[in-house]
């Protein structure tokens, strides 16, 4: 292993820029003549718009435009779309309601953009927005997903507010399995609604050039090419060749910046309307209102066992709240990203899952770190832990009895697991957690008046999304391959253009490590270029832990082509047969001779083209590739959480966290560990403190960090992180993906530990102190006061 | 944020005059509550009168029977005062539990008690020690000063100059932090000074800081956590929100009071 190659914990190249304030985020960019947009948003969860009076606002100082949805429609700007088609059980397509970027006729959630004011300064835009008069006729609000069906109708297309009722698996066979069961474990669970809270709020600058009749959009996107495709092809802003999308440095996404949002579309349109660049940067309070939320899932799940504790079947019924409108990929999250993972790490003969997706008068809900897979892992791993307790079996033992042990393994819910060693990660996690001495620690805690509990989460997820043909057959509107282009300069330095997009992942380092390993050149000689549709031809962006497995595989393909071409050049230089050229550690040699040529010399010769005929061999050294994966990848592992609960207050301290993950081949262990830490932190946040809440009228009550609890250092333990490794067979590097694992594993581990400590399964997320205390009161009416 | 004027007086008299001339003005004494609501356009004072340049408003003075803290003394400076730690560490622990380092480096005692946020820490310390709030006009006993959430006895042109705390041999503060904001979901300050026993509660009450008189009565026979065995607070006067219901808050007051007492009798 070289010091900067695959497997080295190279320090992140991008961090100096970020931590010294030298990053270039969207809000750092100012365009000549730039103006500012402010959005007037709905104060109501559900209302008809009777009248919009803009006259007074238009006369305010500095105002360049006060624009509404009717004008947008008049300009033939189309609606936002959901790009994944789901069909109901009866074959009918999902009921996608119109989602105008500025409301037309009605508003469907608090924060729904109604009018945009463009002015010379932001303060002027805000002042003018206060003069806009909107007459609303309030309608009853629908908030709770469990009560949405048949409540006040929100959209014309969905009479009972149900978007689809979908299912996966064989109901009859699953019911038959349950009929033969010796034991059935039943559980009602709720996956709490989460606000994603990237550190950089969303932002957009729209600019229209009248000379070239083309638009440029700078925005905080995880996938600028998809944004361009949707805004061109569906919204109809401009032909694709007349729209450039640049997502420069982006400060965190966690899924929330995948989607195509109202504000960026409006910024583009308004820039043409006012003839000046238009900038919008979200304030944090807008982020809470409008960034697509995550989860909000209510599930009843059952697992059937035979007399030996072997699983016979699993069935689940889920109601998924998709909010007021269908966000870009919202339909895929509670369906193909969720139900397909309900087999967990176990050989389960029959699985059946029904999912009802509903509209409510809340912010749209879409993918958030893990996207469907945390929900699935929570169902499976809570059921396993509860079943173990009910059956009186050690939870590790029950899992071991049911692990998938031979690969490939076809589950009853689409996924074909390619490789894994679930025994190994469980065993290693138990060692890290010192599981065998837990009883001793529990007794010691008891003496201090604390309730100690331990919980497992043996999760599996599907990453590296995905074979384009496969996802196409499941309803995806796009292919999910990735592209790469490797440009070698005459001096041997290298630029890699990738369709992946980094917003915290460290691609500038890890992608460069791959190139350094392959070409034997210093990491400083390699630049990674992403996030600009004028530079990178096309790409599918970064989400679903896909950029290693898919994005880097595309780079490998391009590097293969570069190496092949470079060998041809080297053969001419050294007057040898192409087949005799060997390339290692940055040097080309001729087999069986002492002839050699350095990488830089070969690169230079490729460009000066003096040593070969241009008719025989094209000059230059630049190759591109598209990589379409053969399968999903299946990261898996085992996390063990140990907690101490103070029964007098319900406060829960995580005293021990042991994470063992199998991510396949790891490029940079330090970055991977960081991803595990971050993912677990967000998973703990979901399990213990985070909750985006609306009141019964649909008013958000967690609209700032004063009420929305984010995990902080004091909420978290020092993590013990370990790894096991089975190489992914479907991609050239053997990588699986690591970005979401922690967020997927953590919630079940936390809740399993807390329920173990307090002796009741009946607890909802977030299990904060108040919730835990209330649960203890129900189980131990005379819980010891101090 | 709307546009506003800013004034930087150097004496209390100048500040009072500015306040008289600008009835819509607000005093700036740290700004960690005021500035965020201004940014959200929820407050629109015509002017801010910044007290940070006024001389003689900051500092901790320890006397033989009392501690006097200047209104513009930063939380950090109170928390780190070695003299205060000598005579009454319980009082020093109060500002040490406020917010984060940024807040503690800017926020002041005067700003905190003038705002009288129902979840703030200092009001519990003032009421729990029977402090005297000293203004440019008069001396106000804490029992009369706090008049409900965000409400005080201060008159429009009145400026707090310092707060005087009697030194209590036995005192303790315990706080259960709000999971999101870090404010006191429930905070209890207890003290015993000769025969005077005080138990002041912040965060829990539906109408701001208050004295838990049932606890004070129970502690008269013995100033010890055990004296609160079986004594509970009515849930009637408790606040209730998404973070804690009335019953949980009432329960936490008992737990925090016992913990504060344990500190007080240990110290």
The band of B17, judged by pLDDT with boundaries at 50, 70 and 90, is very high
On whether both A303 and A433 belong to a single domain, the answer is yes
CATH number of the domain that A262 lies in?
3.90.1170.50
In a domain, A212, yes or no: yes
- Token pair for B165: 């705390």
Interface of B with A (CB under 8 A): 1-3, 40-41, 176, 179-181, 225, 229, 242-245, 248, 251-252, 254-255, 258-259
How far is it, in rounded angstroms, from Cα B108 to Cα B31?
9
Strands (E), chain B: 5-7, 26-28, 47-50, 60-62, 66-70, 132-135, 139-141, 160-166, 170-177, 184-193, 196-202, 210-211
Do residues A14 and A509 lie in contact, with contact meaning Cβ atoms separated by under 8 Å? Answer: yes
Q: Which residue of A has its CA nearest to B241?
A: A701
On whether both A607 and A720 belong to a single domain, the answer is no
How far is it, in rounded angstroms, from Cα A460 to Cα A467?
19
Phi and psi for B186 in degrees, rounded to 5?
-145, 130
| Interval B147-195: pLDDT, tens | 999 999 999 999 999 999 999 999 999 999 999 999 999 999 999 998 8
- Token pair for A410: 């076809």
Count of CB atoms situated within 10 Å of the CB of A61 = 11
On whether both A703 and A741 belong to a single domain, the answer is yes
Q: Which residue bears the tokens 């309803």?
A: A475
Q: Which residue of A has its CA nearest to B181?
A: A706
Q: Packing angle between helix A395-402 and helix A422-432, nearest 10 degrees?
A: 160
| Interval A283-311: pLDDT, tens | 999 999 999 999 999 999 999 999 999 99
- Residue A1 pLDDT greater than 80, yes or no: no
How far is it, in rounded angstroms, from Cα B143 to Cα A183?
63
The pLDDT of residue A779 is 85
- Token pair for A191: 């996956």
Residues in chain A: 786
How far is it, in rounded angstroms, from Cα B66 to Cα B112?
20
- Mean pLDDT score of chain A, rounded to an integer? 97
Please report, rounded to a whole number, the percentage of residues in chain B having pLDDT higher than 90. Answer: 98
Domains, chain B, in order of start with CATH, read 1-55 (3.30.43.10), 170-266 (3.30.390.50)
Do residues A667 and A728 lie in contact, with contact meaning Cβ atoms separated by under 8 Å? Answer: no
- CA triple A651-B228-B199, angle to 5 deg: 85
On whether both A678 and A606 belong to a single domain, the answer is no
A715 by Cβ neighbours in 10 Å (0-12 / 13-18 / 19+) ranks as middle
The closest CB to that of A709, out of B2, B41, B179, belongs to: B179
Phi and psi for B6 in degrees, rounded to 5?
-125, 135
Do residues A404 and A345 lie in contact, with contact meaning Cβ atoms separated by under 8 Å? Answer: yes
On whether both A559 and A658 belong to a single domain, the answer is no
Alpha helix segments (H runs only) across A51-95:
55-58, 69-74
Interface test with B, best of A710, A770, A775, A777 (most B CBs within 10 A): A770
- Residue A780 pLDDT greater than 70, yes or no: no
| For residues A77-92, average pLDDT | 97
Q: Which residue bears the tokens 């993590």?
A: A719
A782 by Cβ neighbours in 10 Å (0-12 / 13-18 / 19+) ranks as exposed
**Is there a contact between A773 and B248 if contact means CB atoms under 8 Å apart?**
yes
- Token pair for B258: 């016992």
Of A627, A661, A692, the last residue of a domain is: A627
How far is it, in rounded angstroms, from Cα A160 to Cα B145?
56
How far is it, in rounded angstroms, from Cα B244 to Cα B186?
10
| Interval A247-296: pLDDT, tens | 999 999 999 999 999 999 999 999 999 999 999 999 999 999 999 999 99
In a domain, A476, yes or no: no
The pLDDT of residue A2 is 82
Q: Show which of residues 674-713 on chain A sit within 8 Å of chain B, judged by CB atoms.
A: 689, 691, 693, 701-702, 705-710
In a domain, A504, yes or no: yes
Q: Show which of residues 745-774 on chain A sit within 8 Å of chain B, judged by CB atoms.
A: 768-770, 773-774
Chain-centre distance of CA A630, in angstroms?
A: 21
In a domain, A42, yes or no: yes
The band of A76, judged by pLDDT with boundaries at 50, 70 and 90, is very high
On whether both A490 and A412 belong to a single domain, the answer is no
Shortest distance between the Cα of A651 and any Cα of chain B, in A, equals 10
How far is it, in rounded angstroms, from Cα A317 to Cα A339?
10
The band of A783, judged by pLDDT with boundaries at 50, 70 and 90, is very low
| For residues A107-125, average pLDDT | 98
The CA-atom distances, in angstroms, between B35 and each of A197, A421, B113 are 22, 55, 16
Phi and psi for B41 in degrees, rounded to 5?
60, 25
Q: Which residue bears the tokens 């009335």?
A: B246
Residues of A in contact with B176 (CB under 8 A): 649, 769
The pLDDT of residue B267 is 65
Alpha helix segments (H runs only) across A42-111:
55-58, 69-74
Of A562, A595, A627, the last residue of a domain is: A627
Please report, rounded to a whole number, the percentage of residues in chain A having pLDDT higher than 90. Answer: 98
Count of CB atoms situated within 10 Å of the CB of A133 = 12
CB-defined contacts A:B, below 8 A: 48
- Residue A781 pLDDT greater than 60, yes or no: no
Q: Which residues pair with A319 in a beta bridge?
A: A298, A356
On whether both A63 and A78 belong to a single domain, the answer is yes
Residues of B in contact with A281 (CB under 8 A): none
Q: Which residues pair with A35 in a beta bridge?
A: A278
Residues in chain B: 267
| For residues A475-503, average pLDDT | 96
| Interval A705-752: pLDDT, tens | 999 999 999 999 999 999 999 999 999 999 999 999 999 999 999 999
| Interval A607-629: pLDDT, tens | 999 999 999 999 999 999 999 99
Q: Name residues whose C-beta falls within 8 Å of residue A178's C-beta, 6 or more positions apart in sequence.
A: A184, A302, A304, A312, A313, A315
Shortest distance between the Cα of B188 and any Cα of chain A, in A, equals 14
How far is it, in rounded angstroms, from Cα B186 to Cα A494?
59
On whether both A635 and A615 belong to a single domain, the answer is no
**A408 secondary structure, DSSP code:** S
On whether both A507 and A640 belong to a single domain, the answer is no
Shortest distance between the Cα of A285 and any Cα of chain B, in A, equals 9
On whether both A63 and A135 belong to a single domain, the answer is yes
Do residues A382 and A748 lie in contact, with contact meaning Cβ atoms separated by under 8 Å? Answer: yes
Do residues A457 and A430 lie in contact, with contact meaning Cβ atoms separated by under 8 Å? Answer: no
Shortest distance between the Cα of A42 and any Cα of chain B, in A, equals 16
On whether both A616 and A638 belong to a single domain, the answer is no
The domain in which residue A566 lies consists of 481-627
**Is there a contact between A785 and B254 if contact means CB atoms under 8 Å apart?**
yes
The pLDDT of residue A785 is 42
Nearest to A731 by CA among A661, A630, A662: A630
**Total domain count, chain A:** 3
Of A597, A627, A657, the last residue of a domain is: A627
**A29 secondary structure, DSSP code:** -
The DSSP code sequence of A763-775 is -PSS--HHHHHHH
On whether both A642 and A769 belong to a single domain, the answer is yes
CATH number of the domain that A302 lies in?
3.30.365.10
In a domain, A4, yes or no: no
């Amino acid at each position: 292993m070289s010091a900067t190659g695959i497997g080295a914990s190279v320090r992140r190249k991008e961090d100096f820029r970020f931590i010294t304030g030298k990053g270039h985020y969207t809000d750092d960019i100012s365009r000549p003549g730039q103006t500012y947009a402010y959005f007037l948003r709905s104060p109501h969860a559900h209302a008809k718009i009777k009248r919009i009076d803009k006259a007074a606002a238009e006369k305010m100082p500095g105002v360049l435009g006060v624009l509404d949805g009717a004008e947008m429609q008049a300009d033939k700007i189309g609606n936002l779309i959901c790009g994944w088609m789901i069909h109901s059980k009866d074959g009918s397509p999902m009921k996608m309601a119109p989602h105008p970027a500025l409301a037309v006729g009605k508003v469907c959630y608090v924060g729904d953009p109604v009018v945009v004011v463009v002015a010379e300064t932001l303060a002027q835009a805000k002042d003018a927005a206060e003069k806009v008069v909107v007459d609303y006729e309030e309608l009853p609000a629908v908030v709770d997903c469990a009560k949405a069906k048949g409540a006040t109708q929100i959209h014309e297309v969905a009479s009972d507010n149900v978007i689809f009722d979908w299912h996966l698996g064989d109901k009859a066979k699953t019911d038959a399995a349950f009929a033969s069961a010796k034991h059935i474990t039943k559980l009602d669970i709720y996956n709490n609604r989460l606000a994603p809270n990237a550190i950089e709020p969303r932002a957009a600058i729209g600019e229209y050039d009248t000379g070239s009749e083309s638009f440029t959009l700078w925005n905080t996107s995880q996938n600028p090419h998809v944004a361009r495709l949707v805004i061109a092809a569906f919204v109809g802003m401009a032909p694709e060749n007349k729209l450039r999308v640049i997502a420069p440095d982006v400060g965190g996404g966690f899924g929330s910046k995948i989607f195509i949002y109202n504000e960026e579309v409006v910024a583009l349109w308004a820039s043409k309307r006012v003839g000046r660049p238009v900038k919008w940067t979200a304030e944090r309070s807008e982020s809470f209102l409008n960034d697509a939320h995550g989860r909000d899932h209510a599930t009843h799940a059952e697992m059937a066992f035979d007399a030996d504790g072997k699983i016979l079947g699993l069935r689940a019924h889920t109601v998924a709240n998709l909010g007021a409108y269908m966000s870009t990929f919202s339909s895929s999250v509670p369906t193909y990203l969720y139900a397909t993972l309900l087999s967990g790490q176990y050989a389960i003969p029959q699985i059946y899952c029904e999912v009802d997706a509903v509209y409510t008068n809340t912010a749209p809900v879409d993918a958030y770190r893990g996207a469907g897979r945390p929900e699935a892992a929570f169902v499976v791993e809570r059921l396993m832990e509860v079943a173990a307790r009910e059956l009186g079996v050690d939870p590790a033992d029950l899992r071991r009895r049911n692990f998938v042990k031979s690969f490939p393994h076809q589950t009853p819910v689409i996924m074909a697991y390619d490789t894994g060693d679930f025994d190994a990660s469980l065993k290693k996690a138990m060692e890290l957690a010192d599981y065998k001495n837990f009883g001793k620690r529990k007794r010691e805690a008891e003496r201090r008046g604390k309730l100690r509990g331990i919980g497992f989460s043996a999760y599996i997820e599907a990453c590296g999304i995905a074979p384009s043909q496969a996802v196409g057959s499941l309803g995806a509107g796009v292919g999910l391959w990735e592209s790469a282009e490797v440009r070698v300069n005459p001096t041997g330095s290298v630029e890699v253009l990738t369709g992946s997009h980094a917003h915290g992942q460290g691609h500038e380092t890890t992608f460069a490590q791959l190139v350094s390993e392959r070409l034997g050149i210093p990491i400083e000689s390699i630049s990674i270029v992403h996030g600009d549709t004028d530079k990178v031809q096309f790409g599918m962006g970064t989400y679903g832990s896909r950029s290693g497995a898919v994005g880097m595989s595309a780079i490998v393909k391009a590097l293969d082509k570069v190496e092949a071409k470079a060998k041809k050049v080297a053969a001419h230089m050294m007057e040898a047969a192409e087949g005799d050229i060997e390339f290692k550690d940055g040097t080309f040699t001729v087999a069986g001779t002492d002839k050699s040529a350095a990488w830089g010399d070969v690169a230079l010769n490729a460009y000066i083209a003096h040593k070969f005929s241009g008719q025989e061999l094209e000059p230059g050294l630049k190759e591109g590739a598209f990589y379409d994966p053969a399968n999903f990848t299946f990261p898996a592992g085992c996390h063990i959480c140990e907690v101490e609960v103070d029964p007098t207050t319900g406060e829960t301290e995580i005293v021990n966290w042991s994470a063992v993950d199998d991510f396949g081949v790891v490029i940079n262990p330090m970055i991977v560990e960081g991803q595990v830490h971050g993912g677990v932190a967000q998973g703990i946040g979901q399990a213990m403190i985070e909750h985006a809440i609306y009141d019964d009228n649909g008013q958000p009550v967690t609209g700032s960090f004063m009420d929305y609890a984010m995990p902080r250092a004091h909420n978290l333990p020092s993590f013990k992180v370990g790894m096991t490794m089975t190489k992914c067979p479907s991609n050239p590097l053997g990588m699986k993906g690591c970005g979401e694992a922690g967020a997927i594993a953590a919630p079940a581990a936390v809740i399993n530990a807390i329920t173990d400590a307090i002796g009741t399964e009946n607890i909802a997320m977030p299990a904060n102190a108040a919730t835990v205390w209330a649960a203890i009161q129900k189980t131990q009416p005379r819980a010891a006061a101090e | 944020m709307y546009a506003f004027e800013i004034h930087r007086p150097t004496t209390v008299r100048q500040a009072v005059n500015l306040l008289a001339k600008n009835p819509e003005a607000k005093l700036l004494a740290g700004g960690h509550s005021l500035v965020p609501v201004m940014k959200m356009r929820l407050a629109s004072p015509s002017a801010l009168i910044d007290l940070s340049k006024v001389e003689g408003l900051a500092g901790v003075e320890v006397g033989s029977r009392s501690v006097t803290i200047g209104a513009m003394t930063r939380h950090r400076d109170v928390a780190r005062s070695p003299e205060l730690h000598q005579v009454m560490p319980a009082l020093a622990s109060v500002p040490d539990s406020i917010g984060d380092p940024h807040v503690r480096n800017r926020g002041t005692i005067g700003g905190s008690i003038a705002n009288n946020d129902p979840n703030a820490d200092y009001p519990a310390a003032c009421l729990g020690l029977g402090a005297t709030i000293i203004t440019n006009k008069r001396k106000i006993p804490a029992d009369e000063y706090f008049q409900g959430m965000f409400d005080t006895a201060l008159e429009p042109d009145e400026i707090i100059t310092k707060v005087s705390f009697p030194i209590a041999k036995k005192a303790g503060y315990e706080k259960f932090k709000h999971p999101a904001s870090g404010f006191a979901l429930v905070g209890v300050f207890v003290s015993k000074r000769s025969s005077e026993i005080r138990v002041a509660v912040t965060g829990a009450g539906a109408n701001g800081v208050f004295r838990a008189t049932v606890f004070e009565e129970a502690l008269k026979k013995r100033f010890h956590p055990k004296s609160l065995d079986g004594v509970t607070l009515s849930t009637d006067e408790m606040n209730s929100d998404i973070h804690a219901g009335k019953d949980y808050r009432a329960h936490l007051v008992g737990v925090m009071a016992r913990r504060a007492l344990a500190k007080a009798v240990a110290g």
